[in-house]
Amino acid sequence: MTGNQDQIQRESDNGEPQGTAGVPILEVLKANKIHDVLAIVIRYFGGIKLGAGGLIRAYSSSCAQAIEAVGIVKRVIQTKVTITIEYPLWGKLQNFLTNEKIALLDTIYTDKIQAVVCVDSDKLSDFKQKIMDLLAGNCLFETGADVLNYVQPEIP
């Protein structure tokens, strides 16, 4: 399946009885609202015929188990931001980043500390304001390029 609206969907039973392999896999992908993905399930014949119902369960559960094991990520456009602060403010900033689940990409220690992070582009001004409030304006921001990142979705 590809496209934000699942414009292109393909499936194949590849020799299995019609509708017993590709369709169940595709339905699992749809049920999990997964886009831009290729799912391949390989089944080795073990000598026992499963029948149509057994094949459907085998293929759909294999796909579902793979999704559960790997997890789901979403694509977001993020902006790279470098925050420059004095050493005494470092603990506050680290704590904030941890609580907000913002990954620290790099830390540069010179006469000041530079923390490099990526923030969702649509939340950038809000992020900067929170940091300014937290550190009473004692920080500098350098905004870098926008990047496409894959992140774990927030679970409500």
**Domain range list for the chain:** 1-71, 74-151
b/e per residue, 104-122, with b = 16+ CB within 10 A?
Answer: eeeeeeeeebebbbbbeee
* DSSP-based three-state secondary structure for 78: strand
- What are the backbone angles phi and psi of residue 3, rounded to the nearest 5°? 95, 150
CATH topology for 74-151 is: Alpha-Beta Plaits (3.30.70)
- 80/120 Cα distance (integer angstroms): 9
Helix or strand (DSSP H, E) at 143 = strand 140-151
Radius of gyration, CA atoms only, the chain: 23
Q: pLDDT 10s digit of each residue in the chain, 156 long?
A: 777 777 788 888 888 889 899 999 999 999 998 888 889 999 888 888 888 999 999 999 999 999 999 888 888 999 999 999 999 999 999 999 999 989 899 999 999 999 999 999 999 999 999 999 999 999 999 999 999 988 877 665
- 56/26 Cα distance (integer angstroms): 11
CATH class assigned to 1-71: alpha beta
pTM above 0.75, yes or no: no
Side chain identity, residue 127: F
Q: Using alpha carbons, select from 139, 129, 42 the residue that is nearest to residue 86.
A: 139
In this predicted model, what pLDDT tens digit does every residue of 101-124 receive, in sequence order? 898 999 999 999 999 999 999 999
- 17/55 Cα distance (integer angstroms): 9
